[in-house]
Amino acid sequence: MDQDALVTERVEAGKRFLAQLSAVGFPIAVAFWARPSDEQWFLYLASPVVDEKGGHEAYRDLTLHERRFDNVGLDPFEVRLVSPSDTMAVAAAKLIEPKPWQPKPSPFMTRFDGSRLGGIDVEGVLVYPALASTVPGA
């Protein structure tokens, strides 16, 4: 088995982290695990805070919350905070948009088996269910 496989424990840790971020009001537009080619798995969090405050300040805000969540089981270095307009974030959000045959967002995670997400070569992608409720005004 691939030692760098995305395992259930990491997916569940991400789910717990997202729930805790939501509870403290840190807005997330879309969240997904992705493994860019020749890299490890990363948890991507697309947040409007990146656009509002800039990447450095957004990471600082996120880090303040991370310190409270030592129990979730995530390594802070496997989290990438990006703008909702990031090409990978846009593509991930489209994967979980309601479809004509499924007008409500799916409550399940969405696996993407393609080789490119938002123009980036990837070896795997797993998108958490819609998190629009964590974005104020959404």
Q: Are 88 and 124 in contact (CB under 8 A)?
A: no
Please indicate, yes or no, if residue 131 is contained in any of the structural domains. Answer: no
How many domains, in total, are found in the chain? 1
Enter the tokens of residue 32: 């997904």
Q: Is residue 50 included in any domain, yes or no? A: yes
In a domain, 3, yes or no: no
Per-residue pLDDT tens digits for 17-47? 999 899 889 999 999 999 999 899 999 999 9
Flag whether 2 is in a domain. no
**Domain-located, residue 133:** no
Q: How confident is the model at residue 70 (pLDDT cuts 50, 70, 90)?
A: low
Instruction: Report if pTM > 0.85.
Output: yes
Phi, psi for 54 (deg, rounded to 5): 90, 160
Asked if the structure places residue 121 within a domain, the reply is: yes
- What pLDDT is recorded for position 1? 33
Please name which of 64, 69, 67 lies closest in space to residue 53, comparing C-alpha atoms.
64
Q: What is the pLDDT of residues 97-115, one digit of tens each?
A: 888 877 777 788 999 989 9
> Are 129 and 105 contacting, i.e. CB atoms less than 8 angstroms apart?
yes
Q: Are 80 and 59 in contact (CB under 8 A)?
A: no
pLDDT band of 4, cuts 50, 70, 90:
low
Residue 55 belongs to what domain range?
Answer: 8-126
Task: Please indicate, yes or no, if residue 132 is contained in any of the structural domains.
Answer: no
Q: Is residue 31 part of a domain?
A: yes
Q: What confidence category does residue 51 fall into, taking pLDDT thresholds of 50, 70 and 90?
A: very high
Q: Rg of the chain over CA atoms, in angstroms?
A: 14
- Determine the pLDDT at residue 64: 81
Residue 123 above 60 pLDDT? yes
Helices 55-68 and 8-23 cross at an angle (nearest 10°) of: 100
